[in-house]
Amino acid sequence: MTTKIKVAAYRLTGGSKTVYSANYEEKISLFNNFKGQIEKLISLAVSLVTDNLATGLKQKISKDSVDSGMNKFEKVGQTLYKYSSQIEDDSSASVLQKAKEVFDKAGQKHRSFRTNILEKIQKPMKEWNETNAKHVSKELKSVNSKRDELDYAINKLRKKPDDLEVQQSVISSAMIALMEVIEDYNKNMKEIFKVVFLTSVAKNAGYQNMNMVKNKRIPDLIYTQIDREIDGFI
């Protein structure tokens, strides 16, 4: 039974529990809240620079675009340019071409914005979460473990009884393991005694070797009697 289970059993039966100071609890709460907010910001940063378009528009643009490496603004501009080349009205084509230039500039700014978000914001936050925050969480878990060990030692000295359900669970597991050992022992002994009995029967019946016994040339009635003898012995 682990210390964590034992100390939980003691506490359920009225055992003592070490309480952290209010200042410590406040700092731990602040750390956990900050860690959670950082994780949300990481997800938000990714969503801000993800090239998502409305489903219908995305399907249309994807079909008409050649360069899949372009972002969503550049794809719109490329599609507009394609349409402008198919329009006979020069005035309308000129409008679409100018619109393409606007979307190209927006695409360039978006590309720069995406790089800054990922490299200067998301990456440092992710590194902090996977190194510093992970290390602090590990240390906090260690502190809680040490507190459990301390509380267990204190309650043991006070002779607080273990939780009854925990005791019964441990006893039941031990009994099951013991019965499995006994059953396996009986099975092995039964096989040993059967070989001994068969050898004896083979010799008394005049069989030359055990192969005749293994090939079941001894009547089944004798096997049944052997099993009964062994069951009564073990």
Which CATH number is 39's domain given? 1.20.1270
- What is the domain range of residue 20? 3-61+91-209
The answer to the question of residue 139 being in a domain is: yes
CB 6 within 8 A of CB 153: no
Flag whether 51 is in a domain.
Answer: yes
Alpha-carbon distance of 155 to 148, in angstroms, equals 10
Tens digits of residue pLDDT in 52-71: 554 444 555 555 455 567 88
Domain assignment present for 191: yes
> What are the residues whose beta carbons fall under 8 Å from the beta carbon of 199, sequence distance 6 or more?
210, 213
Percent of the chain having pLDDT more than 90? 3
- Give the rounded percent of residues in the chain with a pLDDT score beyond 70: 52
pLDDT (0 to 100) of residue 19: 78
Q: Is residue 77 part of a domain?
A: no
In a domain? residue 69: no
Supply the mean pLDDT for the chain.
Answer: 72
Determine contact, residues 48/117, Cβ cutoff 8 Å.
yes
Q: What is the pLDDT along the chain (234 residues), one digit of tens a residue?
A: 566 666 666 666 666 677 788 888 898 899 999 999 999 988 888 887 776 554 444 555 555 455 567 888 888 888 888 888 888 888 888 888 899 899 999 988 988 888 888 888 888 999 998 999 999 998 988 888 888 887 777 777 666 555 555 555 555 555 565 566 556 655 655 666 555 555 555 555 554 555 555 555 445 545 555 556 555 554
Whether 17 is in a domain gets the answer: yes
* Residue 73 resides in a domain: no
The whole-angstrom separation of Cα 8 and Cα 83 is 72
**Is 230 a domain residue?**
no
Q: How many domains does the chain have?
A: 1
Task: Give which of 109, 45, 102 is closest to 77, Cα–Cα.
Answer: 102
Q: How far apart are CA 84 and CA 96, in angstroms?
A: 6
